[in-house]
A and B are shown apart, each in its own frame.
Chain A
């Protein structure tokens, strides 16, 4: 392979988000600064009898507002709809022309890539369940495939089935932007968004692209998704108080809150950004990836994989833990994650661990699964921009065993020059990205 050098600096020149706290970056950030919750009763489907009746939905959103060519995207699933809005915003901020055959932004489309942590689209529940009902042979307690086939054939819609594939959101981004460089999709569960941004940085460093449209998109708020998480007892069942259900690092935490959304960052080589006079929002300086190789159902007790990913990211950034001003934690509000993540931070940051603000925006945003890491990285950029760190809301009964500075219940003004974003996926895939104020 032709090594094109790994010295290129990578910056962020645009951001877009569609999330439970708003349909653009500034509204979502203002909501976080006000400590608002995006969590409420589930309305996408009737969850009233499920063990969990609430979630963090994107509300009142219409992707058609963000595109001149809605017919191209009409079959897209929820995640694709979100990604269209997030991409349009991010490109607009970065000065990238979309939906045109003759862009005037001076970016070679052959050198524009896409890297998305893309979740699978929501299953078509109606077709799924009703075909099984039609095909079930109750007498013999088995499937009658002939009956199932006839029902499924009439219920399943070709394009809706296609749009469940994880590679579809990036396909829609390509149609919008004309990007023809390297295009990849990954799905490392809750760590996918961070991994996509990290690998996108590597694409630019390697010289394979000047610009990469990177981030995540996902919605698992559908009957099968919620069934899966309820059975795993991974999500909160605090049905009497949805807004306070996501309460990372508290003694009473009982699981995460399922959310949905998309977040897009325009990653660009510093040279390209300077040549175009693009406004630089932050610099991406490091990425680390690891796997627990421990158990499918549990994180390594000492946070071995998390520690390794954090240390790899610090090494890649050519900084030490002493340089980090803010940690955006994975902070899911599950018993296991929050305590092991705390252990991992202590292992890396040693005596300094308690002095570094380490908050979880999932307390407000819920858990965007494949989109979580990218959405949270956007909050890191804003923390640097405004010198203010977002809070961990609902932290009223701290877990006595967890004693870091989680920035409880109110945002805090403090100097932030370097921020670290942590994401740990189910099954043990860990990813960490570090960004820095651009100077």
Chain B
């Protein structure tokens, strides 16, 4: 049976470096960090006051007039996904109902969507008056909540916070009627979603798919959660640009942020038939899991990392030394960076000394379910331009890490890139991209 080949034909990225893929790529090439002091709420008492925020946008600019009312049902997670999806589809040249209803060029039933989404916390400011109303003698009173407070909550409140709503809103805007899934594998979600979307096309269930992930992590509850888990740095508040230091000896933890990374996938045949610009091929994918009693961190030997990377290379039918670039997860959490480095080294063998490794979170921050999506967009840009930008903030590699972290920008003809993500809880995911020769 002949392999169905799946390619990337559109890119969309919303990140702390900007609202589109071009801004993200130029920021990355200039080694600029999108990390800054939190502005969306007062972080005065937060041990970590830093984040990679996305703030400057008007969602109404991205939603067709007829659906403007639905913007009331959108949490920031949904909004970021909508912006990135619009860019990816626009970039691909496909015309959906959301782009131009009079000149639709796709069969809606042959389009799929598969997005990674995070655990969405509700808007505290929004629900607070109802909670404050339900107080007796200074304490929250569940009886009063049930009787009165609950009624003050806006009727469609829940719908803003269901993770599947990212895909549902985008599906409605662009009329995507084929298979639809929402992956909730935390920080590994986007790469899992891209892998599964490629499988959906491969098995013939759709011709085109939107895939990736989005998450808005700059939220007091979500950030505090990361602080309590000791995943966030609390020592670099005065130096946002230098705060997140993947694989660096001085790393103290990660910084979290907002993002959406979404790509258009299609069968090579579909792309060629419509003369689309083809960025890259999905050459191989794999997932596994780290098994660790301390499951908020990776197992120290990185076994779950190694399994996914090895299997993805095998799926792509390449040897480790054929890789031209690796974009690792690299959060800046020392124990996890070390375990990831060990896992990648175990998978690469001797090739570990030579394959360039370029972590991005020092600039993009850790954007949860969006991470892998942003990295795939960055990988495609690197491949397109033949450039590997310099890793930021890895000034002294952490002892025992044998990865070849690129400290200076280099020109390079890139044929194969490996993107890798893992998450607390242990899920690991790897995707190998291949340059397509015309």
Contact = CB atoms under 8 A, between A and B. Distances in A.
A287 B425 CA distance: 28
Interface string B106-128: 00110001000101001011011
Given A46-B143, A180-B291, A231-B154, A110 B425 contact: no
Contacts, number: 305
Contacts of B161: 228
B344 to A, nearest CB: 17
Interface string B186-212: 101000100010110011010000000
A30 interface: no
Interface stretch (A82-90, A181-189, A401-409): A181-189
Interface in A108-142: 110, 114, 118, 120, 128-130, 132-133, 135-136, 138, 141-142
A83 to B, nearest CB: 13
Contacts of B205: 289, 312
Interface in A22-50: 45-50
A428 B168 contact: yes
User: Could you say which of A138, A153, A181, A183 has the most chain B C-beta atoms within 10 Å of its C-beta?
Assistant: A183
B155 A232 contact: yes
A1 B225 contact: no
Given A1-B315, A3-B202, A294-B172, A171 B177 contact: no
B174 to A, nearest CB: 8
18 contacts: A1-B3, A3-B3, A51-B150, A128-B221, A133-B132, A149-B220, A158-B229, A162-B229, A167-B427, A171-B295, A175-B293, A180-B303, A229-B158, A291-B167, A292-B171, A295-B172, A312-B179, A426-B162
Interface in A299-316: 304-305, 308, 312
A232 B150 CA distance: 11
A291 B171 CA distance: 7
Nearest to B148: A49
Contacts of A142: 125
B343 interface: no
A168 interface: yes
Given A129-B131, A180-B289, A184-B183, A145 B284 contact: no
Contacts of A129: 131, 134, 140, 145
Interface residues of A, number: 95
B164 interface: yes
A174 interface: yes
B45 interface: yes
A156 B225 contact: yes
Contact of B427 (A171, A228, A426): A171
The residue in A128, A145, A178 that gathers the most chain B C-beta atoms within 10 A of its C-beta is A145
A427 interface: yes
Contacts of A180: 288-289, 291, 303-304, 307
Contact of A174 (B142, B291, B296): B291
Contacts of B57: none
A118 to B, nearest CB: 7
Interface in A193-216: 195, 199, 202, 205-206, 208
A148 B220 contact: yes
A296 B82 CA distance: 14
Contacts of A47: 146
Contact of A296 (B46, B142, B150, B172): B172
A304 B109 CA distance: 11
Contacts of B163: 120, 166, 187
B171 to A, nearest CB: 4
A398 interface: no
Closest 7 CB pairs of A and B: A228-B158, A49-B146, A427-B168, A166-B184, A289-B179, A291-B180, A149-B45
B185 A2 contact: no
A317 to B, nearest CB: 14
Given A1-B282, A138-B132, 9 more contacts: A50-B146, A72-B293, A120-B119, A130-B139, A132-B140, A143-B125, A188-B167, A290-B177, A426-B159
A108 B225 CA distance: 36
A428 B303 CA distance: 38
Given A158-B228, A290-B180, A145 B119 contact: no
Contact of A3 (B4, B153, B185): B4
A118 B131 CA distance: 28
A132 B164 contact: no
B44 A165 contact: no
A252 interface: no
A337 B28 CA distance: 48
Contacts of A426: 159, 162, 164
A145 B154 contact: no
Contact of B185 (A110, A184, A291, A312): A184
A312 B177 CA distance: 12
A80 to B, nearest CB: 11
B427 A136 contact: no
Contacts of B2: 3
A87 to B, nearest CB: 14
B70 to A, nearest CB: 6
